[in-house]
Chain A
Amino acid sequence: MNTAAPVPAPASLADSALPAGGIFAALRWSLVRDLKVAMRSRSELGVQLLFYIIVVSLFPLASNPERTLLAAIGPGVLWVAALLASLLSLPRLFAGDYGDGTLEQIALSPHPLEALVSGKILAHWLTAGLPVTLLAPLLGIQYAMDGESLAVLAAALLIGTPILSLLGGIGAALTLGLRGGGSLLALLILPLYVPVLIFGAGAVEAVRAGLGATANLSLLGAGLLVAMVGAPFAAAAAVRIALD
């Protein structure tokens, strides 16, 4: 029928050695794979970005679009909408893999699960957080925000949205396969988003009040570093718990 099957010499890896390339190979694997999968369903990304635009455009309709009022609520609206957009796209992080059985293979890989999860979270940020960060200043113009606050808004979002993906990753893993996953995820994660919201929106407020946003941005930066170190471990633990 076909040539004799190549008889695989059953060599197993040295018992607990990390495979070649260590954590960066693992991070790159899940990053590239998740981006490829995301690109194959690009329309879904577009819809989630549209969600952000629509939510932001709703608020002026709900209040009188008088410029000074809009400028005052602008940062808050753009930030809360960024939180909701991140929340909306979190199920994509693990639920697909959980459903089709690939999450088991990822958890059973000799590569460290923490690095594989970090790659997935980075892919989520690139497809959800980054587009929102690039879009927010454009929408800020709708809110009569001046150039300087738009710049600070973009900077705060650039530092803040990765934290949203990192914390969100923990919540997404905890609620894998549960009933009412979406709203449960919101209840679990939004309280943890509060500090990011406060310092993120606060940065723009501080600039408008002339205080300068360095304090807020540096606190956000510190938050990002802590989240980058801690969140992958919590998310990996949550994945293992979900697979039990």
Chain B
Amino acid sequence: MSYQNKDNMRLAKKIGEWIDRDKVIKFSFEGEDYTGYEGDTITSALWANGVKVLGRSFKYHRARGVLSLANHDVNILVTDGVDTNIRADVVTLQSGMTLKVVNTEGGVVNDKKKIIDSISALLPVGFYYKAFHSPAVLFPFWEKFIRKAAGLGVVNFNYPRITQRKLNAYCDVLVIGAGPSGLSAALMAASNGLEVILVDENQQLGGSLVYDRAGGNAAKEMLDELSVKMAETPNIKVYTGSYAAGYYADHMVPIVTAKGITKVRAKTVIAATGAFEQPPVFRHNDLPGVMLGSAAQRLIYRYGVKPFNTCVVVTANAHGYRVALDLLNAGCTVVALVDMRAEADRDQYVGELARKGVKIYSSYCVYEALPSKSKLGVRGVTICPFDEKNGTSNTANSITLDCDGIAMSAGWAPAAALLYQSGMGVRFDNDIQQFVPNSLPNGIFAAGKVNGVYNIKQRGLDGMRAAAAALQYLGKSVETINVDHHQGASPSHFYPIVMHPKGKNFVDFDEDIAVKDFINAAQEGFDNIELMKRFTTVGMGPSQGKHSNMNAIRILAKIRNLPVEKIGTTTARPFFHPTPFGHLGGRSFHAHRLTTIHMWHKAANAVFVDVGAWSRPAYYQKSGLSRIETLQQEAIAVRQSVGIIDGGTLGKIEVCGPDAGLFLERFYTGKYIDQKVGTTRYALMLDESGVIVDDGIASRLAEQLFYLTVSTSNAAAVYREMQRWLQIWQLNVGLVNVTGAYGLINIAGPKSRDVLAKLVDIELSEANFPIGSALETQILGFSARIIRVGFVANLAYEIHMPSAQALNAWKALMQSGVKEGIRPFGTDTQRLLRLELGHHMPGYDTDGLTIPYEVGAEHALAMDKPFFVGQRSLQIIAKKPRNKILVSFVLPLDYSSEMPQDCNLVIDDGVIKGRVTSVSYSPAAKCVIGLAYVHPTQNQLGATFEIRTDNGSLAKATIVKTPFFNAE
């Protein structure tokens, strides 16, 4: 059954229309085929086909048609099967679209959920706070129903990942809005040599000049004139079909286009954003066929579509008269113009309308729109005398008129979201019944309707005034331009609200909120605009209150008997229009760092792990072996022969100059001034509260050159802190971060000396190069630094070389160690190896509160120094009792129950005493070994404590000395 009457509503070609009638587009909607033209929106094409029921409301599932045709018809959301929540009023029609309305059950015409509308009296605003929760056990049951009703479109889980480009752009003046004031502002600024960006959300320039014509040509002529000038002005970059999504600090405005986002950094911003037409509120003002006057005009002049056959215009301003003339011009029968005002100065259009046979009812209101039998459209209106002062309707004298549609023009709300976000202060201008800018931040200007200027000539002038002000702000000398204050009747009515005992007089179409809902909310104490918003949800729907907030404020003002300005406005948050993830996220930058040996690791089947931005081999996978088995094999190679690990990710910092030793003594806990050239010392870094931050090795390579290695993940932060303290201490020191410039290879194990010896010209014997030695030499013909270290094995060397040569050095060492069975190992194995030696690792065995006393690092604290970072706090902490200490433990040799894991807890008599920080089976010690925090009273060699494993069983651990195995 076809419900829609399917009249052909397409008009003869209109001058300046946006559609191309040579290009016919086929599409379907709710299972039926239609055609439109290129340039149509989905809504305009449907309306041209006589389709009026375009969607269903969110809460009551009431039939809805065109409201604004300006990107706030959020009851008209469709899906094409791929994408959802498509806004039909503005999305351009594409060939082959197969469209369905979202959130219906059984189609938009027969939506079964419309039943909710008939029980709406049961569901006043806020009802859900008062229902379902008692008894509590039943709430999950009710919640299922509530959750099912929630939401609009169904998300397509197969929708592709799209990352749009995000660009940066710069200009002297960003003009937002390309209506008469925006165009004038842009032209004026550009003609004075400024770089201008002009943005408008519509597909073409002109704003209301395109469609608000009062049946004549003056607006079109003005637009043509401005368009010619635009074409002649090269220094204006125009973005149409694009919106300014928000205002952010220091004049950054993201412009959202179909293809991505351009983040504009402007020196000045002119908001010529216009105003949203506001609906008068009367019963059934939401029926398909009831639309804003400007929506009717848009249909006519942009798309060549007749809004109605026979209609009534209800108005409270001059704009309604212009709309009526445009409707007549489009061939509509205008049965009546209903003017809610008592004694507005009757404007120039009255005579013209009368001549054309339109009956004007002054001091009348539309009391209600009469739904057609199906409730899917309008069959007429009831109008009656209206006392605008009291807002009362004289229903005794009502008149019923037949019509198939109503055009509404009662006033405007400024599209001031970006101005609010910039920090604008407002005042309420009673002459125009609108909030207007009272104070604007530096470099921000407003022009046109958003600035309270409605006269068409003055709007252009106001754009020029704003441009002149922007020019002056940028230091150009131009004459100040003055604009007249608004003359005549207000463009907005002070209270376009018509009460009706049966309600359904909607204020917010997104959320189906009617006048009574506000009254009830206020009665319950939600009589602050923000509380009212939260309780009623007015303005919280996808259109973000563009057509509802102003009426809500007026209603609340009336309820509280306060002037509108005392009510204030709700906060205007970004975004101006909802903005897709793919646009906002853009291309993702996932920066990562690789050492030059990376490709070798990759070829050797390394399994990588991320350490900060770095990618490091955790171990090298061998086929047929588990991770644990692989780790153990790599560890055994180190213990029995020789292993090699890429340490290029470690932080490497040169501390140079006469005060280098002094600097280190202040920065680290140890002593360095008396350190001998050619030796290394442990470097423990604390923060000012005495907590361990990092540790590393300081090698003194020359009298005035210390070479610091610090941990991979802290490298950048440690260098940064060094730079800061150096500024504060003003020592004669140079700092050079060579983390990326130097490669680092660590070879370890009893055979490491033999392997290295083949490549260097120095004596590596124990006597000549014992642990703690460091020197500069040559390897493969380039200079290298060799440090004898002991972190993973008693015999081990770090070789530091220019990173471009690291791969060569690695290959040479691998070659040199073939006979010894040299084996690469990764970070997971390294953790096991250092554990076997009993070394703790900052960040692994410590946390954000660990102090040196808790890990037995007293030996590293030169408390007798005059100063080091953290020293004074340690003096305080030293007086306090400890509550934990890191100990080394083993499990019995025959332990075979649940294996403890890192972070299992140490439990004593049901109380948490500490936790395991590192635990592993050690092939060298041939038992499970680990480090754990225990209570200091538990800390005795040979004492036992209990670890609770994942399955709840307790493992008995014994405190032992380290290293865990006989390392000699």
Partners in one complex: no
